[in-house]
Structure formats: structure tokens, C-alpha cells
Structure 1
Amino acid sequence: MRIGIVVDSACDLPQDFLQKNNIVVLPITVRIGDAVLADHRDEEATLGFLHAHVAERGHEAETTPFTVNQIRDLFLGQLVIDYDHVFCMTITKTRSPIHENAMQASFAILNDYKPVRQAAGFNSPFALRVIDTQNLFAAQGVTAVEAVRMRDAGANVQQIREKLELLASNTHGYMIPRDLYYLRARARTKGDRSVGLLSAALGSALDIKPVLYGHAGNTEPVAKIKGFENAVEQLFRFTGHRVMGGLMTPTVCLSYGGELAEMRALPGYQRLRDICENNKVDVFESVMSLTGMVNVGKGAVVVGFAATPQPFKAV
């Protein structure tokens, strides 16, 4: 059976990994003033747009995901011919309409695919599964990597579906933002009052950085640590301890809101890479999606992995 994998462009995975494994990306279009870019996970284009626009006016950006009709047209024009079963994994439905759009499109796709497949010489049925990853950014990548791994190992559709749904509910994402003022400005633009002016001002004045945690569709601060580099080092140490304690899948995903050389120079990064290598855990690192950067600002660090729940603890 030919199994296809679809993600949206908020899913932070390396561009070459997406291309090598034929992962289809549902682009999210970003508009800042008169500048428009459809985010297809092109790291060079993302960095160019970042340097030109995000620093100054990124908090004003409008983001537009693929509509129901655009998703339907993509499947009927390509995917129902190229594949027999497709797993479509989306950013958490609590933060974006992409999941709902994909669910609505799936009904039309399953109603309309037969003549398209028959015209291409396929008389067998087509099926698709839309999965809410229940997370954001680098943490979304965990399920996509496992889908590729299981597909390559010859797992069947039911085995893949059960594992992806298990991972989605056990994936943990952590983010350290650099600029709380940016987060506050972005939140105001979107009508989200979760980052108040007072907390942003105090955090910036005292150089206190929150550790933001994503799990099961929820996002919340779980710690406050003085200094960005210190906070990142604590996060990398915590991740290393989770790796040594055993993950549900041998995958750690990292993303950074800028040039990856900057992330690789942060304290604790090389130690985490060494721990992952010693424990046979693959690390996937990528430039954060443009969608992610306009929402959380430049220079943010995100870590994602799947494991049994354990409270964040600075170590």
C-alpha cells in the first residue's frame, strides 16, 4: 500500500527531510503589510523574509492557512492518485483552524475521489486520516518522523494510526522566547490576553524568561528562569534527562527562530546532542517556520519529544 504523509508548514522539520521522504506541506500564507509569502518550509526564503520584515512588524502579520477547498483540491488533484492512504497531521486545533479545515475537506475528498482514481487507472479505494498532533512547531515533528519510520519499516495502516494517536497525546513541546514585548504585541493583535503588559515589562526588566509548555492541546508557562541562555541550558539539560530516562520514540526535534548556527552555539546544546547520540536518539533541527516566528518572535528555541508525563524541572 502506498502511504502518504501530509503536514502543515508550522511543523518544524528540516527541509531536506521533508523532501527526501516526500512529505507534502500544507502552506500557511503570511502577510505583513504589502509583503506576502506562502510558507512552504523553504528555510532560505523564511530567513530572508525574517530579516526583512519580522523584526519590525511581525506582530502585525496575518496568517492564512489552506482553506477547505484548497485542501480538497490538493488531494483530488494529486494525493488520491499518488497514494492509497494518507495521514494528515496538523498543528493543535486549539491554536489554528487547519485541523477543522482538513476534517471538513476529508468528507468531500472521500465522496469525490473515485472518478479521479479510476481515470488514473486505480480501482482500489482511497482513505485518509486527519490527526491532531495536539502540539506546535518542533513538537509537531515527532509524529511525522515516526510516520516515516513506520512506513519505511513496512507497518500497516492500523499500526501507524494507533502509534501516531498515542504519540500525539504524549508529545511534549517546550519553548523559550527571547522577547516578551513581542509576544505581548502579537497576543494583542490576535486578541489573546494571555501575556499581559506587566508580566512582559517585568520579565524584560529582570531578564526573566518563561518556559512555555505545550501538551494535549494546551499551552502554559511552567517555569521562569533568569537569563535567556541560562533558560535554554536548563531546557536542554531537562531534555537530556528525559532522553536518558527513555522516550516513546527515538526522536528529539529542535527548532530556532533564526540561523541554526546561533542555536548550536547556545550553552547545553552540544551536551544534549552527545546524550542523544549515546542513547541512539535522532535529532532533527530546523529553522522555525515563518508562521511560528511571526507568532512568537525571533530567536525562540523549541524542543519536542514524546514520553510519559513528567513535570519540568530545572536541573
Structure 2
Amino acid sequence: MRIGIVVDSGCDLPAEYIQRHNITLLPITARIGDAVLADHRDEQATLAFLNSQVAERAAEAETTPFTVQQIRDLFLDKLVIDYDHVFCLTISSTRSAVYANAMQASFAILNDYKPARHAAGHNSPFALRVIDSQNLFSAQAVSATEAVRLRDQGLNLQQIRERLDYLIPHVHGYLVPRDLYYMRARARHKGDRSVSLFSAALGSALDIKPVIHSRAGQTAPTAKIKGFEPACERLFAFARSRINAGLLTPTLCVSYGGELAELHQLPGYAQLQAECKNHGVELLETVMSLTGMINVGKGAMTLAFADDKAPLFH
């Protein structure tokens, strides 16, 4: 059984990991004025964007996921031939239309795949499961890496489905933003009034950074800490405590809205790296997706893991 895995470009996985494990990407496109940028998880292209004049207007960007037709064409042209079963794990359906588009496309794919497979010499059925990761950024990556791990271990389809169904509600993502003014501008552009001008101004004046928790399709502040670096340090220490307690999967994912050298210099990060190594936890770090940085701003940091012991960061 040839099993394929598909994610969208909002999933913060390293490009090398995506290539090594033959993960297929559904790009998200950003339009900023006359500039059109497709997010293909190219870290150097993303960093080049950050240093461009176009990035100054990123809060005004319009992001567009792969359409129903584009998803259908990708599957019928390639994936139904290359694989017998595909797991398509999308960014949270509460934050993007990727899941809805993939679900709609799946009906046409399952109706129309037979001629393409027969022409390629495959007479067996093709199956597709679209899964809402209920999360975003590095937290979406946690579910994707578990799908890869289970596939590579040779588990059958039912075992993989059941494991992912249990895992997804227990994936915890955390975001520490640098620039609350940017987040307010971005939220306002999208019609989201959750970040008020007063809160942004007060937080920036006092250098208060919210730590935002994402889980099961919901996002909410879980703590407010003075200073970006102290907030990250507290979060890294919390992650170390969860590693010691035992994670649900042997993976911890981190993304950063800039050069990874800056991430490595954050206080407490070296200790987190050592803790992962000591406990056999794979630490996957990457430059944040273009899609992610457009939504939360340059210099933000996200961290995620799976934990079924109801951890609380505060």
C-alpha cells in the first residue's frame, strides 16, 4: 500500500523534511498590492521577502489557498497514480478555506480517479482522507510528522486513522508575537476586532507579550509576560517540563519569523535542544511560513507538541 501525505504551506515543517519524506504541498498564495507570492515553503525566498519593501505592506496581504479545481487537478494528474491512499492534513478549518476546498475536491477526485489509474496500470481502488488538523503553524506540523512516522513504521490505514483522530485534539501550539501593532493591523484588515488599539498600545508601551495557545480549532491568550525574550524563555522551560513528563509523540516543532540563528540565540533554547536530545525527542525547527508571517508578523515564534495530560501554561 503506497501512502501519500499532503499538507498546505501553512504547515511549519522544514523544507528538507518535506522533501525527504515525499510530502506533497498545497501552496497558499499571497497578494500584496501588485506582488503575487506563492508560498512553497522555500525558506530563503521567505527570508528574502522579509527584507524586501513589499514586506512593509504585509498586513494588507490577501491570502488565497489552492482552489477546489487546483486540488482536483493535482490529485488526478499525479497523486492518484503515485499513491493508493492519501492523507491530506490541512490548516485549521476555523482559520482557512483549505479544508473546505479539499473536502469539496475530494468528491470529484473519488468519482473521477479510475481512468487515470487504469491508464497507469493500477486496477486497485484509490482512497483519500481529508483531515482538519484543528491547528496551525508548528502545531499543524506535529500531526503531519506523526502521520509520516506511522506510515514509515508500516502501520495499516485503520491504525493511522485512529491514531491521528486521537492525537489531533491533544496537539498544543503556542505563539509569542513580537509586534502587537502589526497583529492589530492584520486582524483589522481581516475584519477581526479581537486585538484592540488600546490593548496593542498598552502592550507595546509596557513591552507585554501575550502567549497565545491554539488547540482543537480554538486560539486564546494563555499568559501575558513582560518582554519577548522572557516570554520565549518561559515557554521553552514549560516545553522542557512537558518533555520530562512524557509527550504523546516523539516530536517537538518550532518555527521562527526570521533567521534561525536568531532563534538559536533566544534564552533557554539551547537547554530545550539538549532536553529533546536527552529524551529522544526530534526537534524540528524551521523558518515560519510566508503565510504565517503575514498573519502574525516578523520575528514571531511558535512551538508545539502533543500532550494528553492537559498541560496548562500560565
Interval of TM-score (by shorter of Structure 1 and Structure 2) = over 0.9
Q: 2:288 corresponds to which residue?
A: 288
Report the residue type matching 2:94 in the other structure.
T
Residue pairs, 1:257-276, within 5 angstroms: 257-276=257-276
User: Partner of 2:214 in structure 1?
Assistant: 214
- Any idea what the Cα deviations from partners look like across 1:134-186, whole Å, max 9, x if unmatched? 11100111111111111111111111111112111110000000000000000
TM-score (norm. length: structure 2): 0.98
Structure 1 residue 54, shift from structure 2 partner: 5.8
Q: Unpaired segments of 5 or more residues in structure 1?
A: none
Offset at 1:310?
A: 1.5
Distance 2:46 2:56 in 1: 15
Indicate yes or no: 2:308 matched with 1:311: no
2:35 counterpart residue number:
35
CA shift for structure 1 position 49:
1.3
CA shift digits 1:205-225 (9 cap, x unpaired): 000000000000000001000
2:313 counterpart letter in structure 1: F
Give me the identity figure in percent: 69
Q: In the alignment, is the contact (CA less than 8 A) between 1:208 and 1:224 conserved in 2?
A: yes
1:113 is matched by which residue type in structure 2? Y
Where does residue 24 of structure 1 map in the other structure?
Answer: 24
Q: Which moved more, 1:295-304 or 1:42-51?
A: 42-51
Secondary structure, counterpart of 1:149 in structure 2 = helix
4+ residue stretches of structure 1 with deviation over 4 A? none
Q: Which residue of 1 aligns with 2:187?
A: 187
- Give the corresponding residue for 2:203: 203
Whether 1:177 and 2:187 are equivalent positions in the alignment is no
Q: Is the 8 A contact 2:7 2:88 kept in 1?
A: yes
**Alpha-carbon distance between aligned partners in 2 of 1:54 and 1:205, rounded to the nearest angstrom:** 27
| 3-state SS, counterpart of residue 121 of structure 1 | coil
Partner of 1:226: 226
The residue type paired with residue 146 of structure 1 is E
Which residue in the other structure is 1:246 paired with? 246
Question: Residue deviations 1:20-63, cap 9 Å, x none?
Answer: 11000000001111111110101111111121146411100110
Q: Are the equivalent residues in 2 in contact too, given 1:139–1:304 (CA < 8 A)?
A: yes
Amino acid at match of 1:310: P
1:39-54 map, 5 Å? 39-53=39-53
In structure 2, the residue matched to 1:70 is 70
Per the alignment, residue 86 of structure 1 pairs with: 86
RMSD between superposed Cα atoms in Å: 0.8
Distance 1:168 1:8 in 2: 16
Cα separation, 2, equivalents of 1:22 and 1:54: 32
Corresponding residue for 2:6? 6
Q: Find the aligned partners of 2:185 and 2:269 in 1 and give their Cα distance.
A: 29
Q: Does structure 1 residue 146 correspond to structure 2 residue 146?
A: yes
Q: What is the identity, as a one-letter code, of the residue corresponding to 1:149?
A: R
Cα deviation, 1:59-94, whole Å, max 9, x if unaligned, reads 001100001111000000000000000000000000
In structure 2, what is the Cα distance between the partners aligned to 1:231 and 1:262?
Answer: 15
**Aligned equivalents of 1:261, 1:96: Cα separation in 2:** 30
The AA in structure 1 aligned to 2:48 is: G
Q: Residues 312, 242 of structure 1: CA spacing in aligned structure 2 closer, same or farther, 3 A cutoff?
A: same
Matches within 5 A, 1:112-123: 112-123=112-123
Contact 1:32 1:57 in 2 (8 A): yes
CA apart distance, 1:289 = 0.3
Deviations 1:227-268 (A, max 9, x none): 010000001001110111110000000000010000110001
Structure 2 matches for 1:126-165, cutoff 5 A?
126-165=126-165
Partners in 1 of 2:296 and 2:169 — Cα distance?
23
Q: Deviations over 1:119-146 (max 9, x none)?
A: 1110000001111111110011111111
Other structure's SS at 1:169 match: helix
* Counterpart-to-counterpart distance in 2, 1:92 and 1:130: 12
CA distance in 2, matches of 1:206, 1:154: 52
- The one-letter amino acid of 2:279's match is N
